Structure 1
Amino acid sequence: MRTLLLTAGLLVGLSPMCMAGQVYKWVDAQGVTHFGSQPPQGTEATTVIKSAAPPAGKPPAPPSGGAIGDQKAIDQDVKKQIAEQEAQLKVFCEQARTNLAQLQNNPRLREEVEGEMRRLTDEERSQRIDETRKQIEEHCQ
């Protein structure tokens, strides 16, 4: 009876490993990294985890610490990428807020166009203020 329960427990415990499929990784147009079981159409995806059938004639081996270590490494890579993206977004938001303050507080702004300095008109200035506010609303919290 114990042997039957032990065998049933091992089969249930190992069944998710047999059903694991391929995992794909890709980066979308906004630079966000995605993972999924289906590769997207029109973008290049790399295979992160390949499904492998157990070799014929051998019983499946019990799970080892190696697979868990690989998953931890993948998790750390993903967390690192997310942290880098958040840092880039933070720099973008700070720059956008600085630009908005410059646009709002300085009515006599100049820009360099083809090596020559020219003053922004009031319409151009107000248009840039609106664009900058829109970017801050969309990307910064």
Structure 2
Amino acid sequence: MFKYSLLLAAVMSFGLLAGQTKDKDDNLVYRWVDAKGNVHFSQTPPPGQKATSLEVDAPKPSSTPPAPIAPPEPKKEDKLDPSLAKLKGQLKEACDRARENLKTLTTFDRVRMVDEKGEYHLLSDEDKAAQVKQYQQQIKDACKQ
């Protein structure tokens, strides 16, 4: 049954593509069954066979072309001056870095940092708390969006 419905849809589509919907007679499709029991659809009746005519409601082809689709409005971010876009990228990097550092400080008990001389030292609980507070402030400042 699906095969026949598909064939009917193909026949109707072909008629639409070919522009065959000029008057009422052009909306007729003929259905018949051959000797082997196969169902056929056509726009012309078969010679020497009994066929059932079906009227198909097909839309008339339009003589006017469809209206062009306007390109989407650029986003506010797309209109940024290149220097502002660069600054925004730097803020995003600072935000990501501060979040990662805060995650490290809150995940591990012992954290070591590099001082001004390039030497590593473990953070005391007071230093760690100060660093957490500093990164939370950086996240607050840099991650505004």
| Higher Cα Rg, which structure | 2
Q: Normalization by structure 2: what TM-score?
A: 0.41
Bigger fraction of residues in helix: 1
TM-score (ref. length: structure 1): 0.42
